Structure 1
Amino acid sequence: MTLCFATNNANKLAEIAALLGDQFTLKTLQDIGCFEEIPETQATIPGNSRQKAEHVWDHYQVNCFADDSGLEVDALDGAPGVHSAYYGGHPRSYERNLNLLLTNLKDQTNRRARFRTVITLVIDGQYWSFEGVAEGQILTEPRGTGGFGYDPIFQPDGHDRTFAEMSMEEKGDISHRGKAFAKLVAFLKELPPTT
């Protein structure tokens, strides 16, 4: 099956291509001729995910999936949440986002947090949603050089390394995105071959 992944994030594309394997043909937004910035104006992670998938389906009539993810920190009442990508302002900067989060948590002892991903799949105008959550804590300083975004300061429960200290495969097995995409792939495998 050919699907478009509605993202311009090369890191996400590489991560998801590794998870999907060769049973699906993954197209990028550029592959389908979509060069505009897809709006993300909803107040929630599920809302943004659906908005992106709807945009591709409405404008290009291409079966696709879109994800939206966020880091929810308990001590910050769930922030940065839906604003995770631009937490430190525009333009997007992973380093600025990470530094602002560490600054805002400087005096906090509660460092519980979770990454949440919601994927919206649209096939022939029908919509499905899949969610993945990775629980963990925010460290006081970055560790590791892999991954992207907040990965260097997020240590998932049951592990002594951050996402940035793990290989892409290790992270994929336990990450929020990995869990959500596992649900997506399981669903896609159950679809009739004619779809």
Structure 2
Amino acid sequence: MTDRVVLATANPGKAAEIAAVLAGTVEVEPRPDHVPDVVEDADTLEGNARLKAVAICDATGQPALADDTGLEVDALDGAPGVRSARFAGPEEDPVANRRQLLAELDRLGATEGDQRRARFRTVLVLRRPDGTEVIADGAVEGTIASELRGGAGFGYDPLFVPDDGDGRTFAEMSADEKNAISHRGRALRALADRLSETEAS
């Protein structure tokens, strides 16, 4: 079993979520400061996660865990999807991305309910130095709120209202509440299960 992994993400919010969900299963280390960002130019979430996991594994010589997450909005034909972090431009500005999303839905007249259906997807790739991989994914269905709500979380959290919640956005939930139902939480628990299965076999 992989007891310790280096995280590919430099996003402190993501790193905290990963560490919280994997606590007791896998120890996580932050990405070393000397390792630069990885260009994410694959056309799938799994492809981008693999690019990052391989780069961090190669740079550190240790098992590396990377994720890529996309917000898929039905009214936008699945956009921003794999481009979620760069929806408003290459700067990866979450404020601009949220503004862009709301503007696109307004332009289409998608004002409520089923017109604003969306889902978050996360794909995780754990890459080991011997080239083996463990892959897991998770998704959560929901809708896009008409305005920002809540001060927690990051990215699109102030706009995403999960179906499995109580009407609050992810940004209105505590970290534990969000992790219990979120796409990343589900993917991480699936990863932990697969690692446990590997250890048992």
Matched to 2:180, the amino acid is D
Q: How does 1:125-136 map to 2 (within 5 A)?
A: 125-136=131-142
Q: For residues 25 and 102 of structure 2, what CA distance do their matches in structure 1 show?
A: 40
Give yes or no for the alignment of 1:16 onto 2:21: no
Q: How does 1:61-100 map to 2 (within 5 A)?
A: 61-100=61-100
Give yes or no for the alignment of 1:122 onto 2:105: no
Shift of 1:90: 3.1
SS at match of 1:56: helix
Compare 67-76 and 18-27 and name the one that shifted more: 18-27
Q: For residues 187 and 105 of structure 2, what CA distance do their matches in structure 1 show?
A: 28
Task: Identify which of 27, 31, 39 aligns with 1:25.
Answer: 27
SS at match of 2:82: helix
Query: Cα deviation per residue 1:68-94 (whole Å; 9 max; x = unaligned)?
Result: 001000000111111111111132211
Shift of 1:60: 2.9
Q: For residues 43 and 34 of structure 1, what CA distance do their matches in structure 2 show?
A: 27
The TM-score, its normalising length taken from structure 2, stands at 0.90
How many residues align structurally? 191
Does structure 2 conserve the Cα–Cα contact (< 8 Å) formed by 1:134 and 1:156?
yes
Q: How does 1:90-169 map to 2 (within 5 A)?
A: 90-106=90-106, 107-109=109-111, 110-123=115-128, 124-159=130-165, 160-169=167-176
Q: For residues 180 and 141 of structure 2, what CA distance do their matches in structure 1 show?
A: 14
Does structure 1 conserve the Cα–Cα contact (< 8 Å) formed by 2:119 and 2:140?
yes
Shift of 1:6: 1.0
Q: For residues 34 and 180 of structure 1, what CA distance do their matches in structure 2 show?
A: 28
SS at match of 1:192: helix
Does structure 2 conserve the Cα–Cα contact (< 8 Å) formed by 1:57 and 1:125?
no
Matched to 1:9, the amino acid is N
The TM-score, its normalising length taken from structure 1, stands at 0.92
Matched to 1:138, the amino acid is I
Matched to 2:152, the amino acid is G
Higher RCO by CA contacts (8 Å cutoff, separation 6 or greater): 2
Query: Cα deviation per residue 1:109-159 (whole Å; 9 max; x = unaligned)?
Result: 410000000001123310121110010000111111111111111100143
Q: For residues 39 and 81 of structure 2, what CA distance do their matches in structure 1 show?
A: 17
Compare 139-148 and 19-28 and name the one that shifted more: 19-28
Structure 1, unpaired ranges of 5+: none
Percent same amino acid among aligned pairs? Answer: 46
Shift of 1:34: 4.3
Does structure 1 conserve the Cα–Cα contact (< 8 Å) formed by 2:6 and 2:63?
yes
**Which residue does 1:3 correspond to in 2?**
5
**Which residue does 1:180 correspond to in 2?**
187
Structure 2, unpaired ranges of 5+: none
Compare 1-10 and 173-182 and name the one that shifted more: 1-10
Shift of 1:23: 4.0
